[in-house]
Structure 1
């Protein structure tokens, strides 16, 4: 009986592990898309229709901190760093083109 419980426990762990791995990839993909969608704002800024600069500036700062955290902590968290890397580039670019 104990072996059956142990096996079921391992299966539950594997299912949970796969679920959270997929959830992590989904989160990373949506994070990257969120920052890539700064393109329309950047385009408008460059055409002279300036938008606010504070939100993309704060996004750029926030993403820089998360990228540093993901890369420089003892056990690297590459998905976290990669998910926030586009925000560094696009956040700061959107902010500075809005000035």
Structure 2
């Protein structure tokens, strides 16, 4: 029972993490409309997410919730960074 609950918790955390990175879309749109945001935070988020994705993929037993949760952070973090420049 505990193992099943932890698995569900991992996927719930994955969904909230993906939501957090999708929330970059308004910043990206503002950046594209010349209301530039700070580029540092999305760049650091993209680097952090890259490290977590690599970690999750190269564990002996791949950690898919971790990979799925952080992959959008790479994409949206880099887009937010590049459009803020």
Q: Which residue of 2 aligns with 1:48?
A: 34
Higher CA-based Rg: 1
Structure 1 counterpart SS, 2:5: helix
Counterpart of 1:81 (choices 52, 67, 70) is 67
User: d(CA) in 2 for partners of 1:18 and 1:71?
Assistant: 22
| Structure 1 position 81, deviation (Å) | 0.5
Q: Which digits, 9 at most, give the CA deviation of each residue in 1:40-61, with x for residues without a partner?
A: 0000000000000000000000
Which sections of structure 2, spanning at least 5 residues, go unmatched?
none
Q: Answer yes or no: is 1:63 the counterpart of 2:49.
A: yes
Structure 2 counterpart SS, 1:49: coil
Cα RMSD of the aligned pairs, angstroms, is: 0.8
Say which structure, 1 or 2, has more relative contact order (CA 8 Å, 6+ apart): 2
Number of matched residues?
85
Q: Answer yes or no: is 1:18 the counterpart of 2:4.
A: yes
